[in-house]
Amino acid sequence: GTRIVYERSTLMHLRNSP
């Protein structure tokens, strides 16, 4: 199956989203 991968930058970007 496909793996759901997140780059560090994406995770950090999502930190601030409301």
Nearest distance from C-beta of residue 11 to another protein, angstroms: 5
Site string for another protein, 1-18 (x = CB under 8 A): --xxxxxx-xxx-xx-x-
Nearest distance from C-beta of residue 15 to another protein, angstroms: 5
Q: Residue 10 has which token pair?
A: 């994406």
Kindly report the three-state secondary structure assignment for every residue of the chain. CCCCCCCHHHHHHHHCCC
Name the amino acid, one letter, at 14: L
Whole-angstrom distance, CA of residue 12 vs CA of residue 6: 10
Nearest distance from C-beta of residue 4 to another protein, angstroms: 4
Binding site for another protein (CB under 8 A): 3-8, 10-12, 14-15, 17
